[in-house]
Amino acid sequence: MSLGEHIFNQASNHIDRLWVFITASVILAVLIVFYRKKTGQWFALMTIVWALINSGVTWWLQGHIHIPTPAKEKWTYAHVKEMMILNLVLDVVYLLSAWYLIKRSRSSEEHQLMLHHFGRAVYVQGAGLLLLDGWFLTGLQVYTL
C-alpha cells in the first residue's frame, strides 16, 4: 500500500468514526431530553449545535478526500499530520472551556443550569473528538516507508 492510499484509508475511517460519534451524540441528546426534562434541555441544545457543526465539517471533509498523487504524498502526509495536531490542541481547548463553564456555573445563580449543562455538553464533544483525533493521528503514523 502506498503512503497516499494509507492516508486516504485512515481519513475514510476517521470520517466513518466521526459520523458514528455525531449520531451517538444526537441520540444521547434526545435521551437526555426525555429522561431529564427540566435540566436536559441545555445539554441537548448544546449537543445538537455541536452535532450540526461536526456534521458540516465531516460532510465537507468527505467531499474533499482523495488519494494524493505520488509526487504529493509526503506533503499531504505532513499537512494532514499538522492539521490533526492542531485539532488535538483545539480538543484540549474544548475540555478547558467545558471546565470553565462548569466552574462558572457555580458562581452564577441566574444561569447555573444552563452553564453547567453547556459545560457538560462541551466536555462530551471535546473528550470524544480528542479520542477520535488521537486515534486518527496514531493510525496515520503507523505507516512505514
CA 133 to chain centre: 7
pLDDT over 60 (residue 16) = yes
| Lowest-pLDDT range of 109-113, 134-138, 140-144 | 140-144
With a pLDDT cut of 90, the percent of the chain lying above it is: 79
pLDDT over 80 (residue 4) = yes
CB-count burial class (<10 Å; 0-12, 13-18, 19+) for 60: exposed
Give the cell for residue 73. Answer: 504524498
- Residue type present at position 82: E
pLDDT over 80 (residue 54) = yes
How far is 69 from 7, CA to CA, in rounded Å? 11
Residue 40 has what pLDDT? 85
Q: Are 1 and 145 in contact (CB under 8 A)?
A: no
The rounded radius of gyration (Å) of the Cα atoms in the chain is: 18
How far is 11 from 6, CA to CA, in rounded Å? 8
How far is 131 from 110, CA to CA, in rounded Å? 34
pLDDT over 60 (residue 145) = no
Give the cell for residue 61. Answer: 471533509
The mean pLDDT of the chain is 92
CB atoms within 10 A of CB 32: 20
- Segment 35-47 mean pLDDT: 87
Q: Are 18 and 132 in contact (CB under 8 A)?
A: yes
Provide the whole-model pTM. 0.89
- Residue type present at position 133: D
Residue 111 has what pLDDT? 87
Q: Which residue has the higher pLDDT, 15 or 109?
A: 15
